Amino acid sequence: MSDAEPADATLLAAGARGDGAAFALLVRRYIRAATLLAAQLLGDRDDAEDVVQEAFTVVHRDAGRFDPARPFGPWLYAIVRRLASNRRARELRRARLLRLWGRTARTAPPPDAAMYAGLEVEAVRKALAQLSPMQRACFELVTLRELSIEEVATMHGISESTVRQHLFRARAALRGLLEQPGD
């Protein structure tokens, strides 16, 4: 964000007063990162988009509670994490009930194969599945989705050094898991 662009808190306050253009600009700034975070937490792009839409509704409704002295991103990402966690818990309860009743619940689709171009998709899926959830999240967001380490740290509410550590460990594990005999 350049000096000429309005601050997030200014946009939020204007949006709360009914300035749709200001709120739309705030949404445009954060929608990509918020959707990536929700998709990681839920494993489903459609559910992620629903959660992000709900998160921005909460932001708009609760704009008066926002402390303009604090950064907007962590507040939004905390809302996204809470809503995604609630949705995930609801889906797990629903799946459990459906199993008890003899039906099967829908499962999340596999990750987009196009992002793993040049490698055997199934080998990459298996290797990524062996990473810890946070290693996988940091690796996907920084390496595959090209977010900055700072953005990922803010999204997950952890320090930048912790993101770097997860990224380092994920890369090392993936190198070991994906090495081909004879390379």
Rounded CA separation 72/9 (Å) = 7
Global pTM? 0.65
Q: Nearest-CA neighbor of 80 among 107, 42, 133?
A: 42
The 10s digit of each residue's pLDDT in 14-66 is: 998 999 999 999 999 999 999 999 999 998 888 999 999 999 999 999 998 89
Over residues 68-85, the pLDDT tens digits come to: 899 999 999 999 999 999
Between 160-178 and 149-156, two packed helices, what is the crossing angle to 10 degrees?
110
137-167 residue pLDDT tens: 899 888 888 888 998 999 888 999 999 999 9
Nearest to 26 by CA among 47, 48, 51, 57: 57
Question: Please, what are the domains in the chain?
Answer: 1-107 (1.10.1740.10), 110-183 (1.10.10.10)
Instruction: With cut-offs at 50, 70 and 90, classify the pLDDT of residue 2.
Output: low
- Where do we find the tokens 């991103």? 73
Q: How confident is the model at residue 6 (pLDDT cuts 50, 70, 90)?
A: confident
Q: What is the SS3 assignment for the chain?
A: CCCCCCCHHHHHHHHHCCCHHHHHHHHHHHHHHHHHHHHHHHCCHHHHHHHHHHHHHHHHHCHHHCCCCCCHHHHHHHHHHHHHHHHHHHHHHHHHHHHHCCCCCCCCCCCCHHHHCCCCHHHHHHHHHCCCHHHHHHHHHHHHCCCCHHHHHHHHCCCHHHHHHHHHHHHHHHHHHHCCCCC
The candidate with the shortest Cα–Cα distance to 124, out of 144, 106, 142, is 144
Distance CA 122, CA 127 (A): 9
